[in-house]
Amino acid sequence: MISIKQLDVIRDEKVLLQGLDVTFEKGQFWGILGRNGLGKTTLLHQMAGLLPSRNQSIHIDGMPLEAIDIQARARQISYLLQIQEPCLDCSVSQAIAMGQFAWQAKHNEAEAVDELMTMLKISHLKDRSLLHLSGGERRKVELATCLAQKSPHLILDEPLNHLDCVYQQFLMRLLVKQSQHQSVVMVCHDVTAIQAHCTHVLLLLAKDCYLAGESATILNDKNLQRLFDD
């Protein structure tokens, strides 16, 4: 369970979102909707501990996020980044195995990686170099790395980017399945996908205005109109 209380989302000294209260629980599949630059990625960064947040506003299963050391945190939360950082080369299977680092697992590494690759339909990429993949293939590898982390919480920043429509459908169904034993939180601009698959929605409208709750009640015409109003 990730509980957020009175969180201010701040980037470069500027307050993007104010006083956010929301709790992400196991068995829930959250979609986060909001316009560009509203602070969605910064929020996810803070939830994953990549950016500091003030006065202990984020708790993982009752523990303040800052109190958990980096390696233990990675056992709790896996995070699919939106943007690829500059990096050096390695093979796809090496890349996915990096997801297991937090557990220091010496055994069954290769098998677990193979299983994940089969599950995500990327076994054919096994020995390919990471830097020679297409955008969509790279995205699938990053996703597999997150799943290899085997954490109870899964945070995804625009997971559908670069993926073809067939795989988008497949991924959404996979995430629904994952949400049975992980709490899944996803930032996504595809309202239809969120409507069809997410159990809960966090609708970010403005700096101090948001709605959170079950998607059936939140995603009504009136609220969506507010989201799309220019």
Partner 1 sequence: MKQGLLAGVVMGGLLLLLVVVASLLLGPVSTPINALIDAQNPLHEIIWQVRWPRVLNALLVGACLSLAGLLIQNMVKNPLADPYLLGVSGGAASVQLFFILTATSLSANLQVLAGFAGGFAAAMLLLKLSYFGQIRTNKLTLNGVVLAFGFAALISMMLALAPPDQMKSMMFWLMGDLSFVRTQWWHFVIVGLAGLLLFRQHRPLDILSRGELFATKSGVNAVRLNVLVFSLTALLTSVAVAQAGTIGFVGLVVPHLMRLLVGNKHQVLIPMSLLGGAIFLLTADTLSRTVMAPIQLPVGIFTALIGVPVFLWLNSKTP
Quote the least distance from Cβ 56 to partner 1, whole Å.
19
d(CA 44, CA 17): 12
Quote the least distance from Cβ 129 to partner 1, whole Å.
8
Would you call 163 helix, strand, or coil by DSSP?
coil
Residues 61-120 binding partner 1 (CB under 8 A) are 70-75, 77-79, 81, 84-91, 94-95, 98-99, 101-102
- Categorise residue 13: left if φ over 0, alpha if ψ from -120 to 50, beta otherwise: left
Quote the least distance from Cβ 209 to partner 1, whole Å.
29
Quote the least distance from Cβ 125 to partner 1, whole Å.
15
Q: How many residues at the interface with partner 1, by CB under 8 A?
A: 31
Quote the least distance from Cβ 188 to partner 1, whole Å.
19
For the window 27-46, what string marks contact with partner 1 as x by the rule CB under 8 A? --------------------
| Of 27 and 64, CB closest to partner 1 | 64
Would you call 17 helix, strand, or coil by DSSP?
strand
Q: Are 210 and 17 in contact (CB under 8 A)?
A: yes
| Of 85 and 229, CB closest to partner 1 | 85
Q: Are 56 and 66 in contact (CB under 8 A)?
A: yes
Quote the least distance from Cβ 74 to partner 1, whole Å.
3
Residues 145-164 binding partner 1 (CB under 8 A) are 145, 149
| Of 42 and 215, CB closest to partner 1 | 42
> Residue for token digits 């959170």?
212
| Of 34 and 49, CB closest to partner 1 | 49
Task: Please list, in sequence order, all residues whose beta carbon lies within 8 angstroms of the beta carbon of residue 77, skipping any fewer than 6 positions away.
Answer: 2, 47, 48, 49, 60, 151, 153, 154, 155
Side-chain-side CA neighbours of residue 6 (13 Å): 3
| Of 51 and 174, CB closest to partner 1 | 51
H-helix segments, the chain: 40-47, 70-76, 92-97, 109-119, 135-148, 165-178, 191-197, 215-218, 221-228
Binding site for partner 1 (CB under 8 A): 48-50, 70-75, 77-79, 81, 84-91, 94-95, 98-99, 101-102, 129, 132, 145, 149
